[in-house]
């Protein structure tokens, strides 16, 4: 065996050992790198969790401070003598209602009247800085003397300067000067934006108990109340307690805006009160201030909703909806325009059939007699023109009516 062979085999063995060492080194490097990556990710996760925890703690600290602030404010209000009913209401809601009461109550007044039948009381609210006060007409009707009592105890005489029995609305004016800062006018809201379920409060003087607030919700919209031979339309229904003496006081939303005037209740009912909407008040005020009254548009008919029975008896198209003209007032606006009332001997529930069917007004479908009356009340005044789409003898015709003044 030669030396060359010996040294050759030794060299090959050494090379394999070196390769193994290199492999182990590389493997260690990979393992160390992987371990470092895992540790880095773990550290990053810990840092993220720590940051998240810090934000959560800060959020809780802010909420705690806000709760402390509300509790302190509530404590101060209670110490001032405000009684709070905490059943089914949150602290935040309580504070909102208290703030609402405090920012509104100076605008609400007690109205006392003398009439030929005796004395009475009601409520009202300050409309402007010139001494004008809004209330219900039935509160001051036939009054021989009217006094207005303010929150601070000031009592001043007032007189009626405008009234509308058809909307049960009246405007008073203070007869003498008044101290600076006494008058705090309300903020009038938009009643067309109301929704059923919306929270409202009624403020007034029920049973002569001054400065009373009750809360509730809008129970329904589009009700009507009887006022003599006519109905007040667009009425708001609420379950906020309204009692004798509340009449004429404001119905207020949570923004402190007057969206109605408390007007009536159903006798012996609980939670069924009614208010004239603010948009009706705002629509009439300019006329009440200018001429002392408001003239309602008049079409001169009596009518009823078209029912399935009427459709059947008059052989109308099955989908017919509108107002059946039962009778037409002689020489009234509709009579002058040629609209016809019941002309046959067929009668349903005491209603003469055969009259014109009002389907639309000014191109707008009127599905009921109520829809027609609301449209006229909201958009029309005497001497204005309205175009009716009528169904007569199963043919459609258009008739133009010049509206009159409600007698």
Cα angle 44, 48, 49 (rounded to 5 degrees) comes to 115
- Give the active site residue among 168, 239, 356, 371: 168
Q: Is 211 a catalytic residue?
A: no
- Bridge partners, 113 (sequence order): 120, 146
Give residue-wise pLDDT tens across range 11-64.
444 555 555 555 666 566 565 665 666 666 656 655 556 555 555 666 566 566
Quote the CA–CA distance of 407 and 379 in Å, as a whole number. Answer: 19
Q: How far, CA to CA in Å, does 8 sit from each of 16, 17, 20, 336, 379?
A: 13, 15, 19, 134, 116
- Give the active site residue among 112, 138, 219, 334: 138
3-class DSSP assignment, residue 371: helix
Q: Is 138 a catalytic residue?
A: yes
- Give the active site residue among 112, 167, 247, 334: 247
φ, ψ dihedrals at 385, nearest 5°:
-100, 140
Give residue-wise pLDDT tens across range 214-241.
999 999 999 998 766 778 899 999 999 8
Calculate mean pLDDT across residues 293-316.
Answer: 94
For all residues of the chain together, what is the average pLDDT?
84
Whether the full predicted model's pTM is greater than 0.95, yes or no, is no
**Would you say 158 and 171 are in contact if contact means Cβ atoms under 8 Å apart?**
no
Quote the CA–CA distance of 225 and 243 in Å, as a whole number. Answer: 17
């Amino acid at each position: 065996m030669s030396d060359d062979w010996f040294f050759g085999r030794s060299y090959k063995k050494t090379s394999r050992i070196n390769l193994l060492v290199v492999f182990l080194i590389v493997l260690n490097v990979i393992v160390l790198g992987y371990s470092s990556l895992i540790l880095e990710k773990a550290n990053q996760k810990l840092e993220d969790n720590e940051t998240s925890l810090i934000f959560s703690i800060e959020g809780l600290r802010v909420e705690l401070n806000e709760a402390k602030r509300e509790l302190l404010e509530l404590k101060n209000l209670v110490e001032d003598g405000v009684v709070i009913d905490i059943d089914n209401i949150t602290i935040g809601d309580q504070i909102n209602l208290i703030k609402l009461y405090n920012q509104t109550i100076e605008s609400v007044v007690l109205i006392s009247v003398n009439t030929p039948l005796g004395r009475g009381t009601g409520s009202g609210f300050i409309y402007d800085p010139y001494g004008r006060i809004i209330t219900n007409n039935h509160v001051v009707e036939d009054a021989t003397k009217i006094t207005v009592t303010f929150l601070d105890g000031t009592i001043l005489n007032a007189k009626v300067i405008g009234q509308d029995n058809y909307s049960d609305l009246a405007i008073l004016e203070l007869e003498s000067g008044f101290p600076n800062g006494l008058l705090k006018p309300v903020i009038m809201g938009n009643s067309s934006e109301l929704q059923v379920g919306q929270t409202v409060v009624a403020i007034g003087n029920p049973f002569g108990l001054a400065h009373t607030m009750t809360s509730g919700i809008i129970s329904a919209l589009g009700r009507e109340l009887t006022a003599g031979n006519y109905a007040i339309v667009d009425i708001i229904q609420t379950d906020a307690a309204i009692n004798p003496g509340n009449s004429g006081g404001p119905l207020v939303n949570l923004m402190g805006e007057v969206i109605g005037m408390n007007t009536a209740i159903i006798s012996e009912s609980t939670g069924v009160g009614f208010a004239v909407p603010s948009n009706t008040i705002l629509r009439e005020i300019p006329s009440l201030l200018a001429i002392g009254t408001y003239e309602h548009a008049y079409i001169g008919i009596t009518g009823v909703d078209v029912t399935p029975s009427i459709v059947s008896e008059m052989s109308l198209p099955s989908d017919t909806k509108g107002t059946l003209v039962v009778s037409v007032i002689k020489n009234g606006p509709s009579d002058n325009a040629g609209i016809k009332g019941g002309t046959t001997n067929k009668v349903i529930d005491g209603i003469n059939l055969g009259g014109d069917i009002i389907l639309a007004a000014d191109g707008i479908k009127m599905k009921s007699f109520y829809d027609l009356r609301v449209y006229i009340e909201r958009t029309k005044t005497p001497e204005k023109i309205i175009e009716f789409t009528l169904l007569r003898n199963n043919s459609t015709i258009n008739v133009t009516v010049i509206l009159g003044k409600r007698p």
